[in-house]
Amino acid sequence: MTKPILTVDDSLSMRMLLRAALSDDGHAVAEAEDGMAALEWLGANEPSLVITDINMPGLDGLGLIAELRADPRYRDIPILVLTTESAPEKKEQARAAGATGWILKPFDPIKLNSAVRRVMH
């Protein structure tokens, strides 16, 4: 059985859009509404990939990425940032925290799945 992709976004509609795009491409999807919920899920599960928003209440995406990269179990799991932020300094912060790639919202499902395939193989 393939490991699910964990999507982390405080927007229910964005999680629904991600679920639709990823499951249409044959992926299993798990969802968390913020970084803390993601860490809780990760305590008992292992994803094939994490897709996270940056701006979320509680533990934001950059904090989540830093937590994952500090844990040997998740050091090699690809992490894509999905955000409305396009500022170069935000991209640099995400890269420095350990993000594998960057996708801008609103996303194109074909480009999203292409990026997913690229980082997972």
Count of domains observed in the chain: 1
Give per-residue pLDDT as tens, 99-109. 999 999 999 99
How does pLDDT run across 50-88, given as a tens digit for each residue?
Answer: 999 999 999 999 999 999 999 999 999 999 999 998 899
Strands 5-8 and 29-32 turn out to be parallel
In 3-state terms, what secondary structure has residue 95?
A: helix
In CATH, what number is assigned to the domain containing residue 72?
3.40.50.2300
Residue 49 structural domain: 5-120
Condensed to tens digits (0 to 9), the pLDDT of residues 20-37 reads 999 999 999 999 999 999
- DSSP per residue over 21-70, as a string? HHHHTT--EEEESSHHHHHHHHTT---SEEEE-S--SSS-HHHHHHHHHH
Could you tell me the pTM of the whole model? 0.96
Q: Locate 63 and state its tokens.
A: 């904090």
Q: How confident is the model at residue 1 (pLDDT cuts 50, 70, 90)?
A: low
Contact between 103 and 82 under an 8 Å Cβ cutoff? The reply is yes
Average pLDDT, the chain: 95
